[in-house]
Amino acid sequence: MSALKSFAYLIGLPLILVTLWWAATVGGTSFFVPTPGQLIETFVETWIGPRFWEDVLPSLGRLFTGLFWAIVLGVVIGVAIGSFRAIRQILEPLLEFFRAIPPPVLVPLLMLIIGVNDQMKVVVIISGAIWPILLNTVEGVRATDEVMRETSRSYQIGGRFRLRYLVLPAAAPQILTGVRQSLSIGLILMVISEMFASSSGLGFTIVQFQRSFAVPEMWSGILLLGLIGLGLSAVFRLIERRILRWYHGLREVQRES
C-alpha cells in the first residue's frame, strides 16, 4: 500500500501539469508552444533513430566520463585535504578562489589549451562537477567521530585499513550528497560544452533547432534532457540506498527510539 501511495505521489504532479498544459493548448495555434501530443510525436521522430546514436550516446559518454573523473578526483583530493590540517589551511583559499569561477567561462580558455574535441568537453564537466564532491568529502572526513579516531589509534589501525573501515564510511553520506549535486551540474555543463564549436551532441542539436526555428524539435530536446536528469536521479537513489543501507537503517532505528 505504501509503495502504491509513493507511486501516486511520484506521477500525480506530472499528470496534473500535463493535463493543464493540454487544456491550455487544445485548439491553440501558437507556433512556440506545441501540444503534448505534438511534442510526443516529434520526440519519437527526432530521437528514436539515427540521431540517438549520433548525438545522444556521445553526449552521455562524455557526461559519464566527466562524472567518473570528478568523483575519483574529488574523493581522493578531498580525503587528502580533510585528513591533514596543514594541507587544508594552505589550500583552503586556493580552493575557494577556483570554486568561485563559473565553469562556463573556462570553455574558451580550454578550447585554446586543449582544442575543440571530446577531451575539452569532459574537462569542462569535471571543472564544475568536482567541487561539490571535493568540498563535501573534506567536510565528511573532518567530521569523523573523534572517539573512533582515538580508538583506531589505540588499536594501531592505520593506513588503508583506517581509510577503508573508518574514514570513508564516516564520510560516505556527505560524499554521496556531493555526488548528487554534481549530477545536475554535470548535465548542465555537458550541454554548455557542446554549444561551443561542436558538430554533434545534445547541446549542439538543440541550438541548431533553435536557430532554424524548429520549435517542436527544440522542445523535444529539452524534454530529453529532463528525462536524462530524472533517470540519473533514480539510478543514483538506488545506488545510494545500497551503499548507505547501514546509515539509513541507523536513522530508522533512531526515529523509532
Query: Could you give all domains of the chain from N- to C-terminal order, each with its CATH number?
Result: 36-256 (1.10.3720.10)
pLDDT in tens, 47-104: 998 899 999 999 999 999 999 999 999 999 999 998 888 888 888 888 888 888 888 8
pLDDT at 33: 79
Please say whether the beta carbons of 257 and 249 come within 8 A: no
pLDDT in tens, 107-133: 888 888 888 888 999 999 999 999 999
Assign 127 to helix, strand or coil. helix
Which cell numbers in the block locate residue 237? 537513489
Which cell numbers in the block locate residue 54? 549520433
196: left (phi over 0), alpha (psi -120 to 50) or beta: beta
Is the pLDDT score of 165 beyond 60?
yes
Q: Under 8 Å CB-to-CB from 31, ≥6 apart: which residues?
A: 215
Is the pLDDT score of 156 beyond 80?
no
Q: In the predicted model, what is the mean pLDDT of the chain?
A: 85
pLDDT at 64: 96
Q: Find, among 51, 72, 21, the residue nearest to 202 by Cα.
A: 51
Predicted TM-score (pTM) of the model is 0.86
Q: Indicate the range of 37-46, 69-78, 136-145, 150-159 predicted with least confidence.
A: 150-159
Assign 128 to helix, strand or coil. helix
Q: Find, among 226, 224, 222, 182, the residue nearest to 63 by Cα.
A: 182
Could you give the angle at the alpha carbon of 32 between the alpha carbons of 29 and 34, nearest 5°? Answer: 65
Q: How confident is the model at residue 149 (pLDDT cuts 50, 70, 90)?
A: confident
Q: Under 8 Å CB-to-CB from 67, ≥6 apart: which residues?
A: 125, 129, 182, 183, 186
pLDDT at 179: 95
Backbone angles phi, psi at 29, to 5 degrees: -125, 20
Q: How far apart are CA 238 and CA 73, in angstroms?
A: 23
Which cell numbers in the block locate residue 253? 532505528
| Burial grade of 161 (CB within 10 A; 0-12, 13-18, 19 or more) | exposed
pLDDT at 247: 67
Q: How far apart are CA 202 and CA 190, in angstroms?
A: 8
